[in-house]
Structure 1
């Protein structure tokens, strides 16, 4: 995979390049510190994936994404920014990006997100090759038609701080399956739904549980800092049992000896609800 970075901070460019190179994710073919110059260089170098900052001199990241996708929808975009505004993140997804990573940069999150996008690109290419082999007409890809539920799901996962967790990809697959099949989790046991994506459903469930626990811990810390925080109030009850969140908060404060527990079923049901509404 070839990568291009659009970022006005050279230190961040070096960090992203090091992550890509050191973890054998592909090759960085170029970078730009300027929004106006970025588009021309991207069209010239034709990278597979562009990592772009939201706020870049002369032309913002959303404008760059829209311009490139309009002319070459085969290029995938990952946006990286300090912005946490719900509206701005929603606009970024609407422009056609695959993922939104919030600064400060976490190497594990960057690696996991890139791995997910690479897998998606490779799957699409293989499907297109099969269609061409059998002379099946291939409709033009349009990132603007990205399913709304996927944007909502990724937004929630990011807000609770688990976008970079290994279980995130399993969660996305399960939510997609439930929505595409027009069913809910009550039709299955957790093991049954996990077994649809792996011969080892227990491992899938463990990854999801670790991600859900990380989200609970993140919300508990947020609640300790500000118990009126919108994210804390929304997701501590929407995805978890608030009593368990409070137990986790007491544990973090040193006031309790046991940790909060997570219900995977409630967690998935909550994500399904937020994805559809």
Structure 2
């Protein structure tokens, strides 16, 4: 890891000494320096160094104010402060603003090298922790997506068995199920119209498509029951996704025994899909 340094001091000779230490000891590279003032803040933010070595007392703006201003924008930049000041209050104030170490002038090579290596270890540890955190976040996201895809795949399979996988409303049904799964809901505790308002720019059209698809599913499952009353799919879905009385009414309507068919319940159908999905 090659560290990028920026040095701020109103004494150019101090800047040169620090540049020589950093380069001679292979601690990194100096990507910029400044004699202080307002412009150095903009330059540091633009160049994004890993470490800024900064003097405490400077004519236009002191080092503590510069650290504070930059930390509000870039918390990741580390600061090492150097000064002849021995005031404990000033040093404490500098640490409160977020510096990592305070080095007393005159510059001591061994002290500078030791402090920089300590800050380097802290930076590397921070990056390692971020990497581990991201790895677990990606792993959890991957598991969630895989689990979610599996859930939707199971629901799609059920809709296919009902003969409505090609219906436009089946996509809407899967969207509703996916929404409820993402919320950790197992029951349709809202009106379907409320969910459609969340998921669609045209909620009324979405709700109509869902109802048409479920009506077709009722017709298909009823036809299956007429053909084979003991069919596994008929036995499973006629009661779990519909009220069996409505399936029977639809079957009688198809046989010409009733003037009207059965009715659907969107709530029961969606809840039934979610339950069947967990079996």
TM-score when scaled to structure 2? 0.48
Q: Quick check: which has more Rg, 1 or 2? A: 2
Structure with higher RCO (Cα < 8 A, 6+ apart): 1
